[in-house]
């Protein structure tokens, strides 16, 4: 349908988001990427590779649309929890931009999916005669960063106000690229900042479900399993939220326990940690396992971003419930096969006491005593379409940390009391367009506060709700013949 009738495709998404989101994005998009070359139908998006160096500024004019507002770009090096899929990763930008259009109300002719085809280190793809990408080992070092630099300069030269969303870059590149561009370019990394903001919204919703206010976030003890770009990104956003609520940075850092495959991050491994990881390194107990951390420090919150399916064992989850009356358990890895535990397991092992959200969708859980719980999906689609809509309408120059915080707050405040009572910490996906509008308004208000709203006039600011509603793309058929009344 997407290839034959774009208006109908987006209408289906808008009207049936809850059923369609798992098909156009997680978890199905992972399988689509795995089979991308074998199921290739037609070209969609742009590819840039090392052979294009020196020509990218001209190449971007091959794209037929003159008003591109949002670009989603990946190098295919870390597709969900599936690893290096190279050029097959094009399925991710296509899926994300479908959500930008349907959920965020950005018109399809204003988005562009991109793959930076810098090769692949996946031996299967290097030896696959049907693989569509460059069959060479990945570019590394200066050559890699020069290629990204030329791409960013090229797209900004043609579309100066475009938002660039970095997606599914490997952990060793993602933070470096974000740090390089975030202060000068309208860009953000969805795996780091989007996941962080979405998780913050879920955590704030979970606090509401426990009868607590957001300012009590600093009283939580947070165990993050996974110290890659997503895990550290979530930690950074939660840390900033605690500081926003009045804690000092030193006191806020004491709330975090971040573990990787070697155990708890600590200062004795400082030489092998990135600056972002070092921020969460503790003074003692380096190398403690998840189980040891739970039993010694009794965390109230367990967040999983490891892409290790089944990592959260029955004993680990039961220990969480033993030390905390209502533990917050978020296994956030995608796709479903990579989730650290399932909804069934979390509710069964905690006797229904936990507050649960996951990266991939799970069906409602019916307990033996008749209780039913409705697990919600901690999906970035609740955040990034609204952020994209907000910054592009405002004419912002950068995506600030404060914009991410107000976006998370707007999402958390959208939850109704009925949804909280059902155990939900995210709204129903059928409300996604209204959620995106509220997020966009919050982002625009923050842009106005910081003098970043160069694209808005006084009249636009009088009624932001009406302004944003008017600007959101609605997939309806446009008349080909103008209706005119002819009088004789």
What is the separation, in whole angstroms, between the first and last Cα of the chain?
A: 44
List, in order, residues 6 or more apart from 62 with CB less than 8 Å away: 46
**424: annotated active-site residue:** no
| CA 381 to the chain's CA centroid | 7
The backbone torsions φ and ψ at residue 339, rounded to the nearest 5 degrees and listed phi first, read -65, 140
Q: Which of 9, 96, 131, 414 is catalytic?
A: 96
d(C-alpha 433, C-alpha 14), whole Å: 8
Contact (Cβ atoms closer than 8 angstroms) between residue 111 and residue 100: yes
d(C-alpha 191, C-alpha 177), whole Å: 12
Is 189 in a helix, a strand, or coil? strand
Element (H, E) at 240: helix 229-244
DSSP class of 300: S
Q: Which of 9, 25, 181, 473 is catalytic?
A: 25
**130: annotated active-site residue:** no
CB-facing half-sphere around the CA of 187: CA atoms within 13 A: 26
Question: 215-234: buried (b, 16+ CB within 10 Å) or exposed (e) per residue?
Answer: eebbebbbbbbbbbbbbbbb
d(C-alpha 258, C-alpha 236), whole Å: 11
Contact (Cβ atoms closer than 8 angstroms) between residue 192 and residue 229: yes
- Residues belonging to the active site: 25, 96
């Amino acid at each position: 349908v997407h290839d034959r009738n774009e208006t109908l495709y987006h209408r289906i998404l808008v009207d049936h988001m809850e059923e369609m989101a798992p098909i156009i994005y997680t978890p199905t998009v992972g399988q689509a990427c795995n089979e991308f070359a074998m199921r290739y139908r037609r070209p969609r998006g742009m590819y840039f590779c090392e052979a294009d160096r020196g020509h990218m500024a001209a190449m971007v004019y091959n794209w037929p649309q003159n008003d591109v507002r949002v670009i989603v770009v990946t190098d295919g090096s870390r597709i969900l929890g599936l690893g290096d899929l190279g050029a097959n990763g094009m399925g991710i930008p296509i899926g994300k931009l479908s959500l930008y259009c349907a959920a965020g109300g950005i018109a399809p002719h204003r988005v562009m999916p991109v793959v930076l085809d810098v090769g692949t280190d996946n031996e299967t793809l290097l030896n696959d005669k049907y693989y569509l990408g460059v069959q060479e080992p990945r570019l590394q070092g200066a050559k890699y960063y020069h290629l990204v630099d030329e791409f960013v300069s090229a797209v900004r030269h043609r579309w100066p106000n475009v938002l660039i969303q970095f997606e599914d870059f490997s952990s060793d590149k993602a933070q470096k690229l974000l740090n390089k561009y975030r202060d000068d370019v309208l860009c953000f990394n969805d795996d780091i900042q989007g996941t962080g903001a979405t998780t913050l919204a879920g955590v704030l919703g979970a606090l509401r479900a426990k009868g607590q206010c957001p300012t009590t976030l600093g009283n939580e003890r947070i165990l993050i399993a996974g110290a890659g770009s997503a895990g550290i990104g979530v930690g950074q956003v939660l840390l900033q939220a605690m500081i926003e609520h009045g804690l000092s940075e030193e006191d806020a850092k004491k709330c975090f326990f971040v573990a990787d495959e070697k155990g708890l991050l600590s200062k004795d491994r400082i030489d092998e940690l990135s600056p972002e990881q070092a921020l969460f390194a503790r003074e003692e107990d380096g190398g403690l396992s998840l189980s040891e951390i739970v039993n010694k420090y009794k965390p109230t919150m367990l967040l999983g971003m490891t892409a290790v399916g089944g990592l959260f064992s029955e004993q680990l989850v039961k220990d969480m419930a033993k030390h905390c009356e209502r533990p917050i358990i978020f296994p956030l890895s995608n796709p479903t096969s990579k989730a650290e535990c399932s909804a069934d397991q979390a509710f069964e092992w905690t006797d229904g006491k936990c507050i649960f959200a996951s990266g991939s969708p799970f069906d409602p859980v019916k307990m033996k005593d008749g209780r039913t719980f409705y697990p919600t999906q901690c999906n970035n689609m609740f955040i990034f379409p609204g952020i994209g809509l907000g910054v592009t309408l405002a004419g912002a120059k950068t995506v600030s940390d404060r914009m991410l915080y107000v976006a998370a707050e707007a999402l958390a405040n959208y939850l109704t009391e009925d949804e909280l009572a059902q155990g939900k910490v995210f709204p129903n996906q059928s409300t996604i367009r209204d959620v995106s509008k509220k997020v966009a308004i919050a982002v625009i208000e923050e842009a106005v506060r910081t003098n970043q709203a160069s694209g808005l006039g006084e009249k636009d600011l009088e009624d932001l709700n009406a302004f944003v509603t008017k600007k959101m793309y609605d997939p309806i058929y446009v008349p080909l013949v103008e209706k005119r009344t002819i009088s004789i």
